Chains A and B, each alone.
Chain A
Amino acid sequence: MNNRRRMRFTRRSFLAGTGAVAAGVSLAPRGAWSAEEAKLNFYNYDTYIGETTLDDFKDASGIAVKMDLYADNDELFAKLKEGNPGYDVIVPSNDFVERFLAADKLLPLDHGLIPNIANVESVFMDAAFDPGRKYSLTYMWGTQGIGYRKSKVSSVPDSWKTVLDSDEYSGRIALLSEGVLEVALKYLGYSYNDVDPAHIKQAEELLIKQKPHIKTFAEDNGQDLLASGEVDLTMEWNGDILQVMEEDDDISYVVPKEGSNVWQDCLCIPTGAPHPENAHKFINYILDAKAGAAIAEFIYYATPNKAARALLGDDYNKNPAIFPDEETLKKCEPAIYLGEAVQRMKDEAWTRVLAA
């Protein structure tokens, strides 16, 4: 449910979305030649790849990449749900990797074809959502926290209490509509992935109680609300806040001390991909030191690629908004796919919060 991306415009434009499916469908016959045609269909978020990565990959391999864009995991999942319209590489978040796996929609990766796996930090080579990383490799990772305007807060808002259980900044707070129930659970001392109906009820009541002090539940545009001065504190994904921090020195980001959500976006090959060999080549290229550094430097998210990090300066490597300190990070949890029944329970809780 990580809607941390910028492209909010595409999210609603169904027509554009439909067009993208049509464009993504590869009509080339399969199996007519022994080698794959030199093409690749990449399905990615907007502004989530290096400026010249796709061209550089073409120069290096001769494979032309066609990139389509989606706005959030839900859109990605909805589009591939009824069958792959022709994509070779997709970038779902960790909990959606689980969902794709549960739906049997991912091809296993052949690690032998991806020698650059050696560049990936070892902690990223195993994960609860994909043991042994057989189906997915981390592309970027990050956290969910609070973006705030330094001149408008009395102290660093390093607790979820500031936005979830306090009237100090009444009317100047925005919360993200997705992930907020889970963050409320975290604040209440439960797991981000708690499924106890009583605890979810408690989180629901906390949010209803806090509603009068909240300006709006943002649709992943918390950073715009913060940048335009509409609110002074917003729950957001770190990458979004980093983006506005570049333009405004008065904005900062903190991961609250109670911990939060740590996410991973993962490179995967969906079943039915027309060019799986090219897809492996592409994934290998992204995990290359230089290519990875160029991407990380441009999009400013945390890369799992230690060889790429070695090529980048302190500006990037020592940035607390990109790489939070170890102690906070230990308290963060990845979102886990909890099954359809829990999802329905949470959606109903959220509907009640909004209707209250």
Chain B
Amino acid sequence: MENWRRNPLVFWVVGLPPTVWLVVFFLAPLSLIWLLSFGEKRGIVDIEITWVLDNYARAFDPLYLQIFAKSLWMAGITTLICLAIGFPIALFITFAPQRWKPWLLLLIILPFWTNLLIRTYALIAVLRTRGYGNFALEWLWDQGNWLLTLVGLGEFQLLGEKFEPLVLLYNNTAVVFGLVYVHLPFMVLPLYAALDRLDRSYIEASLDLGAGHLRSFASIVVPLAKAGIISGIIITFIPALGSFLTPDLLGGTDSQMIANVIERQFKSANDWPFGAALSFILMYATFLALAVRAMMSRGGSATEAG
């Protein structure tokens, strides 16, 4: 693609708007936040940039480290579950008949057409004590009892005296459930992109040469889809790590994640410098993850070349 060298005008016309956009709406505000993270509060609104590191130092207080660790743990679990669920889904779409594929992909993308907040509130309606989830379970319980009565075991109350709704909401499990629900498409799409490009003759060869399905999956499919797996993990993990709405709405009394702390610094605590420092620590962690990914993919292509 050396065309742009011959058409510099086209290059500038096409390239300038996104560059300006990126600088004005991304780099400039981000730099402001970065500057703030080295600031000190002077009274209620004024912040002086004094290049102190106090805000970063405060973030390394065990209290905040513990919350960082908890957030990493929650986001990690979420990513693993997404991978475990997303891989079969992506595989299924890859091997589905050609005319179904757009529809299946649409099903994956469809939730994005609804606002995250609406989807989270919908989850609350499903998971709460008197929600659809428990209604369904209660119905099953009734049917089970009816069946037991039918076979003459009614009086033993095998299913308990009365239906006890499950506590599905306001705990860490609910938060992870919500995070998986929200982030699953982020995992499926890159996996699908990788699997769809996969040359099927490798799988056939592997099966022909006597490897079982599991062996073929582990030695052929997974290594070839590695790039997709890594992308999927990264673009699931990063937003999951920064979630604040899901823990806020679905979490219990101990479901605070680091983004909730950051949100409070910009609102009720009115400590923008500290909030900015926490945000940037998250961002540095993200850069680190991306650097690792870049290194791994370089390593990957080196092996392929070799």
Q: Which residues of A line the B interface, CB within 8 A? A: 1, 9, 12-13, 72, 74-75, 77-78, 81, 99, 102-103, 171, 178, 211, 214-217, 219, 228-230, 340, 343-344, 347-348, 350-352, 354-356
Question: Which of A13, A352, A354 has the most chain B CB atoms inside 10 A of its CB?
Answer: A354
Task: Describe A's contact surface by its main secondary structure.
Answer: helix
A99 and B117 within 8 A (CB): no
Q: How many residues of B contact A (CB 8 A)?
A: 35
Query: Does residue B271 face the partner (Cβ distance < 8 Å to A)?
Result: yes
List residues of B whose CB falls within 8 A of some A CB.
41, 43-45, 63-64, 66-67, 70, 115, 117, 128-130, 167, 169-170, 245, 248-249, 251-254, 256, 260-261, 264-271
User: In the complex, what's the smallest C-beta–C-beta distance from B176 to chain A, in angstroms?
Assistant: 16
Give 15 new A-B contacts, CB below 8 A, not counting A343-B271, A351-B264, A355-B67. A81-B45, A103-B44, A103-B45, A178-B268, A215-B170, A216-B170, A228-B129, A230-B128, A230-B129, A347-B269, A348-B63, A351-B63, A351-B261, A354-B254, A356-B254
Closest 8 CB pairs of A and B: A74-B267, A347-B269, A354-B256, A216-B170, A103-B45, A103-B44, A211-B253, A102-B44
B128 touches A355 (CB 8 A): no
Contacts of B265 in A (CB 8 A): 347
The answer to whether A13 and B44 have CB atoms under 8 Å apart is no
Partner of B253, one of A347, A351, A354: A354
Residues in A with CB closer than 8 Å to B256 are: 351, 354-355
Give the complex CA separation of A351 and B67 in angstroms. Answer: 9
Distance from A195 Cβ to chain B, minimum over Cβ atoms (Å): 16
A123 to B16 alpha-carbon distance, docked (Å): 62
Given contacts A12-B117, A103-B45, A340-B41, contact A352 B63 (CB under 8 A): yes
A216 x B129 contact (CB < 8 A) = no
Asked if A340 and B43 make an inter-chain contact with CB atoms under 8 angstroms apart, the answer reads yes
Q: Which residues of B contact A211 (CB under 8 A)?
A: 253-254
Most buried by B among A78, A102, A103, A344: A344
Instruction: Verify B267–A75 contact, CB threshold 8 A.
Output: yes
Cβ of B253 and Cβ of A13 under 8 Å apart? no
> Is A230 a contact partner of B169 (Cβ separation < 8 A)?
yes
Task: Please count the residue pairs between chain A and chain B whose beta carbons lie under 8 angstroms apart in the complex.
Answer: 81
Which of the residues A215, A228, A354, A355 comes within 8 Å of B130, measured between beta carbons? A228
B248 in complex: contacting residue of A75, A219, A229, CB < 8 Å: A219
A343-B269 contact, Cβ under 8 Å, with A230-B169, A351-B67, A354-B256: yes
Taken together as a complex, chains A and B put the C-alpha atoms of A219 and B245 apart, in Å, by: 11
